[in-house]
Structure 1
Amino acid sequence: MLRALEIRDILIIDRLELVFRPGLNVLTGETGAGKSILLDSLGFVLGWRGRAELVRQGAEQGEVVAEFDLGPDHPARAVLDDAGIPAEDGLILRRVNTRDGRKTAWVNDRRASGEVLRRLSETLVELHGQHDDRGLLDPRGHRALLDEYGETAALLANTRAAWRALREARKAQEQARAALDEVRAEEEFLRHAVAELDKLAPEPGEEQELDRRRRMMQAAARIREDIARAHLALGNDGAEGAMGDALRWIEGVAEQAEGALDAPIDAVGRALGEVSDAMAGLETALDQLDFNPYELEEAEERLFAIRGLARKHSVLPDDLAEFADGLRVRLTALDQGDADLADLARAVTQAEAAYDAAAQALTDARAAAAARLDRAVTTELAPLKMDRAVFTTQISAADPGPDGRDTVAFTVATNPGAPAGPLGKIASGGELSRFMLALKVCLSGAESGRTMIFDEIDRGVGGATADAVGRRLAALAQGGQVLVVTHSPQVAALGAHHWRVEKRVVDDITLSTVVPLEQAARVDEIARMVSGDTVTDEARAAARALLAG
């Protein structure tokens, strides 16, 4: 609900503060008094596109502040959350327009873009009038309005879920087909490469081990003779034998040395053990160096084959086994590709069937809701003196999508047998206003906390018809908030709150102001609307009768 509107230095308004209330708020005044300026100012702070020049002559900048109440479930809270702006019970919008055309906006004291303002405005305000291209005259929103009226939220959610599942199934099928086509293009390479790798069967670490053995075998002839000499020097005829003789000699006289030879005996014993280990190591080395001459050739051939495949496939030798596994996976996918595609095709078929069922259920629900809406609007048109007019909600086929496969358009024919067409093109000014009001009354059950503004929606009607318009506006305002700019005394008399927009001249400068009216002032204002410039007693009596209901 719009709680307050403050305007400074906008067009012919120097400073104006308005406090609005729930229910039906009416604004009246002579033509040119500035009623449209209030809507321009509200549209400016809401980010709507409007007049380019808004700053009052002589001022450096114009400013508009709008304050709204937000309920706990108000959809504006989601917009604030997306924009990273803290949501409170109150929402304050402020926008400044400088003389050079720069515009700056704040939402709850946080800088905000015009896009954020416009997204908020869609949840805060609805403007209806003869030039309403944001609401009921915009066919792009008719399907959503019908869905709200028909309470199809659950069916719509099912359709959207089925559409997502269908898109995912089709995407999986397309990706699998593309992957299979890619693999088929290199089938010959894959089969040859896998056969070649399987035949060689390289293992991680094998290349390093082959290289080590190759280098050892290449050096074997050169080093084996020296290792054999070292083995002989350490054996029984060398160091081991001499150390054994020394140990026996020392042990033979140890008892007579009274412990002086214990340490040498231990040291010689340890040395013999180390020599024995060295002998064993040398024997192992000699065994390893004792190889078949053909073994070197075989090792070199396998080493070069492994390195050749690694270069061919641009991988490290140790990664050949893993690379081969990857090729086998692709080859398996190729061999199983047709079966997998068949499975995916069945999944797509099932998803299409599920979407068709969900979309058809939604279409059926929309058709039923459209029939109910047509009857309801027809019922509302009769008191508005349009009982011969025909309102039709047209549902036609559209390309399938997340919201179903229907296009919805509200059409009218002003007389039976006349061709039907869009609201804004078929109906005249007064007829259009009444059509829109009747439609809005029928759709009002789907409201979600928006303030509804009707700009001269009663233009071109009077008498009992104007009274019917006013009563429907009052009904719309119950439990909510409606602002109406009107020239009709019947409508003005039904307002719960009344403001008069008037002009005054100060120092040769024309300024507009808005005055809240109490009961006596309302009588005079409505009497002026009844009789014109000269307010007569009869006009005041008529005004009192209208206010009495």
Structure 2
Amino acid sequence: MLRALEIRDMLIIDRLDLAFQPGLNVLTGETGAGKSILLDSLGFVLGWRGRADLVRQGADQGEVTAVFDLAPGHPARAVLAEAGMPEADELILRRINTSDGRKTAFVNDRRASGEVLRGLSDVLVELHGQQDDRGLLNPRGHRDMLDAFGALEVQRSGVRAAWRAMGAARAAVVATEEALEKVRAEEDFLRHAVKELDKLAPEPGEEAVLDTRRRAMQGAERIRGDIARAFELMGGEAGEAALGDALRWLEGVSDKAEGLLDEPIAALNRAMIELGDAQSGVERALDQMRFDTSELEAAEERLFAIRGLARKHAVAPDDLAAHADALRARLAALDAGDADLGRQRAELKAAEAAYDAAAEALGQARRQAAQALDRSVMAELAPLKMERAVFATDITPGEPGPDGRDAVQFTVATNPGAPSGPLNKIASGGELSRFLLALKVCLTGTDSGRTMIFDEIDRGVGGATADAVGRRLEQLAAGGQVLVVTHSPQVAARGAHHWRVAKDVKGGVTLSSVVPVAAAGRVDEIARMLAGDTITDAARAAARALLDG
């Protein structure tokens, strides 16, 4: 509910504080007094796109503040949560417009974008008028209104679930088809590559082992001859035999040398031992370096094959085994793909059938709800002196979507036999007002806490018809809040709260003011609306009769 509206330096308003109430709030005043400025200002703070020159002449900036009370579960709370703003029972919107056109908005004293304001506006306020393009005249919202009237949310949710399931099934089929198409395009390559890799059967780490063994054999081939010649020399005349002969000669005469040969003989014994160790070590080395040349050739051939495949597949040699597994998996997917695709296509067909059934059931429910809505609106048109008019909810096939495959539009024919068409194309101003009001009365139960604003919706009607309009506005306001800008005394008399908009010239400056109209003042204001500038006793009597009625 809109509780307060504060306007500072906007158009011809310097300062204005309004405290609105639940029920029917009426605003009256002479043409040009500034009633539309109130709506312009409210639209400004709600982020509506409107006129740019809002700042009062001579002021640096204009400012509008709107205060709303939010009931628990009000849709505005979800908008605030999505915008990352705290929720509260009181919602304060404030927007500033500088004289150079810059606009700044705040929601509960936190900076907010125009998008957030418009999101809140959609759930806070509903504007209706003869040039209404945000509410009932917009065909894009007619299907939602019909579904709300018919309480079809459960069936609509079922259609949405079926649409999502169908979309998921279709996406799975497309993904499998694309994957299979891609794999089939390279099937020959895959089979050849897997065969080649399986034949070689490389193992992780094998390339490094082969490389080390190859280098060892290549090195052994180069140095083994020198080692063998050294070994031969160790065992020849200059080797162990020569040292043995020298040792025997020295030992044969050592007892006659009076100890002079003891140390040399001991050294030769040590040399014999060291020489034996050297011969054993060299012999072991020769054994280890002994290899078959065919083994070197085989190692080199396998090493080069592994490295060649790694380059061919652009992977590291150690990753060839894993790469082969991946290629085998792609081949397995190709072999199993047809079966998977067949299963997925069957699932898609079932999902499409489920969506068709849910959409058809929703469409049938909509047609039944449309008949009920048409009867309800027609019943409301008779008291509004439009008993010859025809209202019809037109349901035609539309593009399938998450909300079904029905296109819904409200149409009217102002006289029997006349062609029907969209509301805003067929009805005149006064007729359109009454159509909108009748439709809104029938849809009242579908509202969710919005403040409804009617801008001169009673234009072009009077007498008993205007009285019927007023009574229906009063009915709409029961349990909620309705703001009406009106020139009709019959409508103004039905208001629970009354404000008068006036325009005065002070010091050469035109300013607009809004003042609450008390009980006695209401008689004079409604009399003025009946009689014009000169208020007569008869006009006052008629005003009292309206207020008492």
Normalised by the size of structure 1, how large is the TM-score? 0.89
- Aligned counterpart, 1:259: none
Partner of 1:187: 187
Structure 1 pair 189–462 and aligned structure 2 pair: CA distance change class (3 A): same
Counterpart of 1:325? 325
Deviation of 1:291 after TM superposition, in Å, equals 3.1
Q: Determine the structure 1 residue equivalent to 2:427.
A: 427
Task: Name the counterpart of 1:300.
Answer: 300
* Shift of residue 285, structure 1, vs aligned partner: 6.8
Match of 2:30?
Answer: 30
Gaps of 5+ in 1: 239-274
Deviations 1:360-386 (A, max 9, x none): 121111111111100100111111111
AA aligned opposite 2:10: I
Q: Secondary structure at the match of 2:162?
A: helix
Correspondence list, 1:83-102, <5 A: 83-102=83-102
Q: How many Å apart are 1:3 and its aligned residue?
A: 0.5
| Aligned-partner Cα distance in 1 for 2:285–2:471 | 112
2:342 aligned with 1:345: no
**CA distance in structure 1 between the aligned counterparts of 2:123 and 2:418, rounded to whole angstroms:** 37
1:6 — aligned with what? Answer: 6
Quote the residue 2:520 is aligned against: 520
Show the 5 A alignment for 1:214-293: 214-222=214-222, 288-293=288-293
1:437-476, Cα deviation, whole Å (9 max, x unpaired): 0000000101111000001111111111111111110111
* Distance (whole Å) between structure 1 residues aligned to residue 287 and residue 66 of structure 2: 98
| Superposed displacement of residue 481, structure 1 | 0.2
After TM superposition, the structure 1 = structure 2 runs for residues 88-127 of structure 1, keeping only pairs within 5 Å, are 88-127=88-127
**Pair 1:424–1:281, CA change in 2 (3 A):** farther
**Secondary structure, aligned partner of 1:435:** helix
Shift of 1:170: 1.1
Counterpart CA distance in 2 for 1:538 and 1:196 is 110
Letter in 2 for 1:155: Q
Structure 1 pair 285–37 and aligned structure 2 pair: CA distance change class (3 A): farther
Shift in Å, 1:283: 9.0
Q: Distance in 2 between matches of 1:375 and 1:279?
A: 120
Provide TM-score, normalisation by structure 2: 0.89
RMSD of equivalent CA atoms = 2.3
Secondary structure of the corresponding residue to residue 383 of structure 1: coil
Q: Which amino acid aligns with 2:205?
A: G
The separation in 2 between residues aligned to 1:168 and 1:288, in whole angstroms, is 67
What per-residue deviation string (whole Å, max 9, x for no partner) do you get for residues 18-48 of structure 1? 0000000000111111111111111111111
Aligned equivalents of 1:221 and 1:167: distance in 2?
70
In structure 2, the residue matched to 1:494 is: 494
Q: Distance in 2 between matches of 1:220 and 1:99?
A: 94
Shift of 1:336: 2.2
1:79 maps to what in 2?
79
2:31 matched to 1:48? no
User: How many residue pairs get matched?
Assistant: 510
- Deviations 1:285-322 (Å, cap 9, x if unpaired)? 76654433311111111111000100111110000011
Residue range with higher mean Cα deviation, 152-161 or 216-225: 216-225
Secondary structure of 1:494's counterpart equals: coil
Shift of 1:224: 5.6
Larger Rg: 2
Structure 1 residues 287 and 392: alpha-carbon distance in aligned structure 2, compared to 1, 3 A threshold: farther
Structure 1 residue 281, shift from structure 2 partner: 10
1:57 is displaced (CA, Å) by 1.4
Residue 145 (structure 1) aligns with? 145
CA distance in 2, matches of 1:25, 1:426: 30
Measured in 2, the distance between the counterparts of 1:148 and 1:28 equals 33
> What is the letter of the counterpart of residue 203 of structure 1?
E
> 1:128 deviation in Å?
0.4
Displacement of 1:545 in angstroms is: 1.4
Inter-partner Cα distance in structure 2 for 1:173 and 1:181: 12
Structure 1 residue 120: deviation in Å? 0.8
State whether structure 2 residue 382 is matched by structure 1 residue 387: no
Residue in 2 aligned with 1:165?
Answer: 165
Superposed CA deviations along residues 107-158 of structure 1, whole A, max 9, x for unmatched, are: 1111111111111100000000001100000001111111111111111111
Offset, 1:530: 1.4
SS at match of 1:122: helix
SS in 1 for 2:472: helix
Shift of 1:14: 0.8
Secondary structure of the equivalent of 2:443?
A: helix
Q: Kindly indicate whether residue 194 of structure 2 is the aligned counterpart of residue 199 of structure 1.
A: no
1:256-307: CA deviation from partner (whole Å, max 9, x where unpaired): xxxxxxxxxxxxxxxxxxx99x999999876654433311111111111000
**Correspondence list, 1:409-420, <5 A:** 409-420=409-420
Q: For each residue in 1:83-105, what CA deviation from the matched residue of structure 2 results, as whole angstroms up to 9, or x when unmatched?
A: 12212111111111111111111
Residues of 1 paired with 2:2 and 2:290: CA distance? 101
Q: What amino acid sits opposite 2:57 in the alignment?
A: Q
Q: Tell me, what secondary structure is at the counterpart of 1:9? A: strand
In structure 2, runs of 5+ residues without a counterpart are 241-275
Pairwise CA distance, 1:404: 0.9
Distance in 2 (CA, whole Å) between partners of 1:205 and 1:288 is 23
Name the structure 2 match of 1:474. 474
Query: In structure 1, how many angstroms separate the alpha carbons of the residues matched to 2:66 and 2:167?
Result: 43
